[in-house]
A and B are shown apart, each in its own frame.
Chain A
Amino acid sequence: MMWLDMIDARGLLSALGLMFLLGLLGSMLLQAANRLIETQEEPLVDKINDCLPQTQCGQCGHPGCRPYAEAIAQGELHNKCPPGGDETIIQLADLLSREVIALDEAQGETAETPMLALIREDECIGCLKCIHACPVDAIIGAQKKMHTVVADLCTGCELCIEPCPMDCIDLISEEVYQQQALSAQYGVRYDS
């Protein structure tokens, strides 16, 4: 057979042999490296959590910001945080090398200004329901005693509004809050 004579059997074998050997060697070395080098732990969840606004509102479907951060680390979409808005989505996309996608409107809308909860104290009956609902312990009070939202600690998560049986909690913007505080202090009316 002529074509058999044309093949340089020795060369072919040596070429194949070389590639095979190289392949074997390479894979062995890589395997060894894989086993020997230890993986460094990285607190990715902490970094993700730092990007979230810590409102603890639950609008993303998780009971707080940290559970959502853990879910994102597992692969959940990063566009579910309305209080964080577009800024948070961009930050997360940057951190995780993912795409910047639009906010999932089903979870809620981003508020334009930061909002605060305010209890209309005349109507409060001291039932403790809002205190138990607040995820950041921003409401102080005791049973049958006045409940008050500490404005500096309120994140505007709105979780206290529903449980109130007297429906006496309002969600107002910071500006309105300041004005109300001033008018309460000085008795000066604000017609805005």
Chain B
Amino acid sequence: MTANKRLTSVIAVSEQGLVIDTIKQPSRAKTIARLEPPKRLTYPLIDRRFGALTPKVKPGQCVRKGELLAIHDFQQGLNVHCALPGRVLGVERHVSLSHLSSASPCLVIDVEASQETHSEQHLSNTALSMPALHEPDWPMIIQRVAETGIVGLGGAGFPTAQKMPHELQYVVINAAECEPFITADERLIIEQAQQIAQGIELIETAAKPERIIVAIEEDKTEAIACLQKALPKQVEFQLLASKYPTGSERQLVRALLGNVPDLNAPLKEFGIWVVNIATLFAIKRAVLDGEVLTQRVVTVAGAAIAEPRNYWLPIGMPVNELAQQLGLDKKSGADDTLEWIHGGPMMGVDLQRQNIPVEKVTNALLLDPETNKKRQAKARPCIRCGKCEEACPEFLLPQQLLKASEHDAQEVLESLKLEQCLECGACDFVCPSDIPLAQHFAEAKVKLRTTRQTQSQAQAAKLRYERRAQRLLQREEQREALKLERAKARKARVQSAKPQAKVGTEAVKLADQKIVKSSPEQERFETTDSKQLKTELAKAQSIYQQAEKALAQAKKQNMPKLEQLEAHVAQLKARVEAAQQAYDQQLSGGSS
């Protein structure tokens, strides 16, 4: 068999971490079952990361299976589709996974009574679906993934289309399901290996990546065998040591590809795509069968469950209805102090007896008294045993982080690399004082984020304030400049008008004076002194010139009494000529 050649040796994702009893039996051996359809479907409309969704249906509207119920204005991957045919009841306030203590708006569907149950039709499209794509190219695949509302089904629920690189180089298919009790992905592999293989082929043909690696834990022997039979030759297998935690994206990339290129940049930029195997299955169904995401495999397990098993559950089914169908609710006589946990015993969220709906990220629902006891145990003081530091897979120092978070010392938290914490809960598990370490760190992370947000908002406010101050200053300066200009213009206008008028009247006055003074007798220059004559000449000339200038300006401005002025000027001119004559006479002859 060529299969053996493909199997590589077992590697551990991290040198530290826990080896724990995974309690995967008996659910890993049973087929995935189906339940009766629920009476209600609830779809939360507020995404904790991206905000509010807009409903696309109205109250009272009849909706088919697969109908688009709500969309997000900017994030296509958050589309919500209806899992079963029914009628829209409207938007009600309801609890959900991200709003456990305060209800948030949710779209509620009343499921039709007439439903075909237990049939394979639930797996294929009975109502609304999209056209199947034949030989699509990579961008078409990404678009289809976004339209069908596919998010990461491995736990985090990030819109998958956003993480698919345009230039795909490395695909890591994450089949490591490391938390105890959960066998959803494992069973899916065993039952649907063929379809998964088709999905991988689809990606290979469309994007032609350099490497495709399936990462799976070594103890999932049946699943490994099924995959080996079904998958094409080029797909690599990497067996992982059965440790907790193993399935974290960063850890896998570090272990399989050598190094995480940049802790702060998304892997997409480096052509790396880590995809959960259940998500891959959903992608195949979306592209090749046109199916939108309306259901998923959920493990229902725990010591309080008589028959731990996987189920195909419609997304939106309330947990209480699940409990009822399994005979686990109060009416059936179950212990009502038990609380459901959404997810696994390490990273799961305590539902606090709230009736939340199954969401796209629900991979398991646990009812395990031991886990509950450990979580509810009262925290005792830290005894500095150091077990948490031995358990941390990222080689962090939980003890120091705890001290720093208690004192809210944010620089210390940053220097201790709080952001690298996976919140896996390994330190919680080993702590002999039952301190809820992961919870403390999650809260500290939120505080850190809030501080950063406040700081960046303050920076933005500062920038806007400075720009506004600058703008106001500029406006002031412009206004001042304009004022000055206008004042200057006004002054210039006034000055150019006034002096001309002044000169005109003065000239008239001057001319008047001269005329009064000068008489024909006085036109004769009686002095014999040449110098005096010269001065007289100069004087007469200057007076004449002034008068002429004044006349010219007066003419330009159309002043009255022009004729009088002209007469004066003519007289002055005559006087100049007389003076000139006298001077010449004096120069040439003697006095005669």
Contacts and interface: CB of A to CB of B under 8 A. Distances in A.
- Direct interface between A and B, CB < 8 A: yes
Contacts of B466: 66
A65 B460 contact: no
A182 B52 contact: yes
A153 B464 contact: yes
Of listed B454, B457, B459, B466, residue having the most chain A CB within 10 A: B457
Contacts of B52: 182, 185
Q: How large is the interface on A (under 10, 10 to 19, 20 to 34, 35 or more residues)?
A: 20 to 34
B45 A54 contact: no
Interface in A34-89: 49, 53-56, 64-66
B73 to A, nearest CB: 11
Contacts, number: 51
A137 B468 contact: yes
Interface in B137-172: none
Contact of A54 (B55, B462, B468): B462
B177 to A, nearest CB: 36
> Secondary structure of the B side of the interface?
helix
B67 to A, nearest CB: 19
Nearest to A179: B102
Nearest to A157: B461
B465 A65 contact: yes
A188 B461 contact: no
A46 B461 CA distance: 15
B460 A53 contact: no
Nearest to B459: A54
A64 B461 contact: no
Interface string B37-78: 000000001100000101100000000000000000000000
Given A185-B52, A186-B91, A188-B91, A137 B464 contact: yes
A137 B460 CA distance: 11
Contacts of A125: none
Interface in A151-177: 152-153, 155
B469 interface: yes
A182 B105 contact: yes
B458 interface: yes
A54 B464 CA distance: 10
B468 A136 contact: yes
A127 interface: no
Interface in B1-60: 45-46, 52, 54-55
B264 to A, nearest CB: 23
Contact of A155 (B46, B93, B461, B469): B461
A153 B461 contact: yes
B45 A186 contact: yes
Contacts of B46: 182
Contacts of B465: 54, 56, 64-66, 135-136
- A-B CB proximity, top 10 nearest: A54-B458, A136-B464, A54-B461, A186-B105, A54-B462, A186-B91, A136-B461, A188-B105, A56-B465, A155-B461
Interface of A: 49, 53-56, 64-66, 135-138, 152-153, 155, 182, 185-188, 190
Interface of B: 45-46, 52, 54-55, 91-93, 104-105, 454, 457-462, 464-469
12 contacts: A53-B458, A54-B461, A54-B462, A54-B465, A64-B469, A135-B465, A136-B468, A153-B461, A153-B464, A185-B105, A186-B91, A187-B91
Given A182-B105, A187-B91, 9 more contacts: A49-B462, A54-B459, A54-B461, A135-B468, A137-B468, A182-B104, A185-B105, A186-B45, A186-B91
